[in-house]
Amino acid sequence: MEFRKFSIDGPLEIVPRKIEDERGYFSELFRLDQFRRTAGTTDFVQDNQSLSVRPGTIRGIHFQTHPRAQGKLVRCLAGSAFEVAVDLRRDSPTFGKSVSIVLNSETNNQFWIPVGFGHVFCTLEPRTVIGYRVTDYYSPEHEFGVAWNDPDIAIDWPDVADPDSLSAKDRRQPSLADLPNYFSVVDRQCA
Protein backbone atom coordinates (compact mmCIF):
# COMPACT_ATOMS: atom_id res chain seq x y z
CA MET A 1 0.00 0.00 0.00
CA GLU A 2 1.43 3.35 -1.07
CA PHE A 3 0.56 6.69 0.57
CA ARG A 4 1.06 9.68 -1.75
CA LYS A 5 1.17 13.22 -0.40
CA PHE A 6 0.08 16.40 -2.15
CA SER A 7 1.38 19.97 -2.25
CA ILE A 8 -1.12 20.73 0.55
CA ASP A 9 -0.41 19.06 3.88
CA GLY A 10 -3.14 16.67 5.05
CA PRO A 11 -4.88 14.95 2.13
CA LEU A 12 -3.43 11.66 0.88
CA GLU A 13 -3.91 9.33 -2.05
CA ILE A 14 -3.79 5.71 -0.97
CA VAL A 15 -2.90 3.23 -3.71
CA PRO A 16 -3.28 -0.43 -2.80
CA ARG A 17 -1.18 -3.15 -4.35
CA LYS A 18 -3.00 -5.58 -6.64
CA ILE A 19 -2.08 -9.24 -6.85
CA GLU A 20 -3.43 -10.40 -10.20
CA ASP A 21 -3.72 -13.72 -11.96
CA GLU A 22 -6.00 -15.28 -14.59
CA ARG A 23 -8.91 -15.35 -12.09
CA GLY A 24 -8.80 -11.64 -11.32
CA TYR A 25 -7.10 -9.85 -8.47
CA PHE A 26 -6.79 -9.52 -4.71
CA SER A 27 -6.11 -6.17 -3.06
CA GLU A 28 -5.70 -5.15 0.56
CA LEU A 29 -7.58 -1.85 0.70
CA PHE A 30 -7.15 -0.67 4.26
CA ARG A 31 -4.83 -1.30 7.21
CA LEU A 32 -5.44 0.77 10.30
CA ASP A 33 -1.83 0.51 11.47
CA GLN A 34 -0.41 1.84 8.18
CA PHE A 35 -3.12 4.48 7.89
CA ARG A 36 -2.50 5.82 11.40
CA ARG A 37 1.25 5.85 10.83
CA THR A 38 0.74 8.20 7.87
CA ALA A 39 -2.52 10.09 8.54
CA GLY A 40 -2.57 10.14 12.34
CA THR A 41 -4.85 8.59 14.92
CA THR A 42 -8.28 8.28 13.38
CA ASP A 43 -11.32 6.19 14.12
CA PHE A 44 -14.01 5.58 11.52
CA VAL A 45 -17.61 5.41 12.70
CA GLN A 46 -19.86 5.45 9.62
CA ASP A 47 -19.79 4.26 6.00
CA ASN A 48 -21.70 6.13 3.29
CA GLN A 49 -22.36 5.41 -0.38
CA SER A 50 -23.74 7.48 -3.23
CA LEU A 51 -24.83 6.62 -6.78
CA SER A 52 -24.72 9.28 -9.48
CA VAL A 53 -26.60 8.16 -12.56
CA ARG A 54 -25.19 10.67 -15.04
CA PRO A 55 -21.63 11.74 -15.82
CA GLY A 56 -20.96 15.34 -14.82
CA THR A 57 -22.88 15.14 -11.55
CA ILE A 58 -21.35 17.55 -9.02
CA ARG A 59 -21.74 16.93 -5.27
CA GLY A 60 -20.27 19.42 -2.81
CA ILE A 61 -18.20 21.31 -1.57
CA HIS A 62 -19.32 19.82 1.79
CA PHE A 63 -17.89 19.58 5.31
CA GLN A 64 -18.99 19.28 8.94
CA THR A 65 -17.86 21.61 11.73
CA HIS A 66 -16.77 20.90 15.30
CA PRO A 67 -17.75 19.18 17.47
CA ARG A 68 -18.96 16.82 14.65
CA ALA A 69 -16.20 17.53 12.10
CA GLN A 70 -15.49 14.63 9.75
CA GLY A 71 -12.45 13.25 8.04
CA LYS A 72 -13.38 11.20 4.95
CA LEU A 73 -11.72 8.22 3.30
CA VAL A 74 -13.25 8.16 -0.20
CA ARG A 75 -13.25 5.33 -2.73
CA CYS A 76 -14.89 4.78 -6.12
CA LEU A 77 -16.71 1.45 -6.27
CA ALA A 78 -17.99 1.74 -9.87
CA GLY A 79 -17.19 4.19 -12.64
CA SER A 80 -14.85 7.12 -11.96
CA ALA A 81 -14.91 10.53 -10.33
CA PHE A 82 -12.86 13.71 -10.22
CA GLU A 83 -12.35 14.26 -6.46
CA VAL A 84 -11.29 17.50 -4.77
CA ALA A 85 -10.23 18.50 -1.25
CA VAL A 86 -10.30 22.24 -0.42
CA ASP A 87 -8.26 23.61 2.49
CA LEU A 88 -10.67 25.48 4.79
CA ARG A 89 -8.20 26.14 7.61
CA ARG A 90 -8.20 29.94 7.60
CA ASP A 91 -4.72 30.20 9.22
CA SER A 92 -3.19 27.76 6.73
CA PRO A 93 -0.75 29.05 4.10
CA THR A 94 -2.80 27.00 1.61
CA PHE A 95 -6.24 28.30 2.71
CA GLY A 96 -8.65 28.15 -0.23
CA LYS A 97 -6.31 25.99 -2.33
CA SER A 98 -7.31 22.55 -3.50
CA VAL A 99 -5.88 19.23 -4.56
CA SER A 100 -7.58 16.77 -6.86
CA ILE A 101 -7.32 13.22 -8.12
CA VAL A 102 -9.37 10.83 -10.22
CA LEU A 103 -10.70 7.82 -8.34
CA ASN A 104 -11.82 4.79 -10.28
CA SER A 105 -12.91 1.26 -9.60
CA GLU A 106 -10.05 -0.21 -11.66
CA THR A 107 -7.15 1.16 -9.59
CA ASN A 108 -8.99 1.03 -6.22
CA ASN A 109 -7.15 4.18 -5.17
CA GLN A 110 -8.57 6.12 -2.23
CA PHE A 111 -8.55 9.76 -1.14
CA TRP A 112 -8.06 10.78 2.50
CA ILE A 113 -9.65 14.17 3.21
CA PRO A 114 -8.91 15.19 6.81
CA VAL A 115 -10.90 17.46 9.10
CA GLY A 116 -10.41 21.05 7.98
CA PHE A 117 -11.04 20.34 4.31
CA GLY A 118 -14.13 20.55 2.13
CA HIS A 119 -14.97 17.71 -0.24
CA VAL A 120 -16.52 17.85 -3.71
CA PHE A 121 -16.60 15.48 -6.65
CA CYS A 122 -17.75 15.30 -10.24
CA THR A 123 -18.62 11.96 -11.81
CA LEU A 124 -16.86 11.08 -15.04
CA GLU A 125 -18.89 8.01 -16.04
CA PRO A 126 -22.52 6.91 -15.86
CA ARG A 127 -23.65 5.08 -12.72
CA THR A 128 -20.64 6.06 -10.64
CA VAL A 129 -20.74 4.76 -7.07
CA ILE A 130 -18.72 6.52 -4.37
CA GLY A 131 -18.18 5.01 -0.92
CA TYR A 132 -16.72 6.96 1.94
CA ARG A 133 -15.86 6.16 5.50
CA VAL A 134 -16.10 9.05 7.96
CA THR A 135 -14.65 9.83 11.38
CA ASP A 136 -17.84 11.22 12.93
CA TYR A 137 -21.55 10.66 12.47
CA TYR A 138 -23.63 12.72 10.07
CA SER A 139 -25.01 15.79 11.83
CA PRO A 140 -27.29 18.08 9.77
CA GLU A 141 -26.81 21.01 12.16
CA HIS A 142 -23.02 20.84 11.65
CA GLU A 143 -23.10 20.35 7.87
CA PHE A 144 -22.02 23.31 5.73
CA GLY A 145 -20.66 24.01 2.30
CA VAL A 146 -18.92 26.38 -0.07
CA ALA A 147 -19.89 27.35 -3.62
CA TRP A 148 -18.53 24.71 -6.02
CA ASN A 149 -17.46 27.35 -8.56
CA ASP A 150 -16.01 29.98 -6.20
CA PRO A 151 -13.36 31.90 -8.21
CA ASP A 152 -11.17 32.22 -5.10
CA ILE A 153 -10.88 28.42 -5.01
CA ALA A 154 -10.67 28.13 -8.82
CA ILE A 155 -11.09 24.37 -9.25
CA ASP A 156 -10.14 23.27 -12.76
CA TRP A 157 -13.28 21.24 -13.47
CA PRO A 158 -13.42 18.51 -16.14
CA ASP A 159 -15.36 19.41 -19.29
CA VAL A 160 -18.17 17.03 -18.32
CA ALA A 161 -19.02 18.99 -15.11
CA ASP A 162 -22.72 19.90 -15.26
CA PRO A 163 -23.91 22.81 -13.04
CA ASP A 164 -27.51 21.70 -13.69
CA SER A 165 -26.77 18.55 -11.65
CA LEU A 166 -26.27 20.52 -8.41
CA SER A 167 -28.73 19.96 -5.58
CA ALA A 168 -30.85 22.92 -4.47
CA LYS A 169 -28.68 23.15 -1.33
CA ASP A 170 -25.44 23.25 -3.34
CA ARG A 171 -26.79 26.04 -5.57
CA ARG A 172 -27.07 28.28 -2.46
CA GLN A 173 -23.68 27.68 -0.80
CA PRO A 174 -21.70 30.78 0.31
CA SER A 175 -18.42 31.97 -1.13
CA LEU A 176 -15.13 31.17 0.55
CA ALA A 177 -14.79 34.83 1.57
CA ASP A 178 -18.11 34.65 3.44
CA LEU A 179 -17.28 31.43 5.26
CA PRO A 180 -16.75 31.76 9.05
CA ASN A 181 -13.48 30.59 10.57
CA TYR A 182 -14.35 26.96 11.33
CA PHE A 183 -10.93 25.27 11.24
CA SER A 184 -7.32 25.87 12.25
CA VAL A 185 -4.02 24.21 11.41
CA VAL A 186 -3.35 23.77 15.13
CA ASP A 187 -6.53 21.74 15.49
CA ARG A 188 -5.30 18.27 16.44
CA GLN A 189 -7.99 16.66 14.27
CA CYS A 190 -6.60 18.44 11.18
CA ALA A 191 -3.18 16.76 11.52
Residues annotated as part of the active site: 62, 132
19-31 in b/e form (b: 16+ CB < 10 A) is eeeeeeeeeeeee
Rounded Cα distance between 65 and 156, Å, is: 26
Looking at beta carbons, which pairs linking 138-141 to residues 24 or more positions away fall under 8 Å?
Answer: 138/46, 138/48, 138/64, 139/64, 139/68
Answer for the pair 99, 10: CB distance below 8 angstroms, yes or no: no
Answer for the pair 8, 87: CB distance below 8 angstroms, yes or no: yes
Rounded Cα distance between 116 and 128, Å, is: 26
- Radius of gyration of the chain from its Cα atoms, rounded to whole angstroms: 16
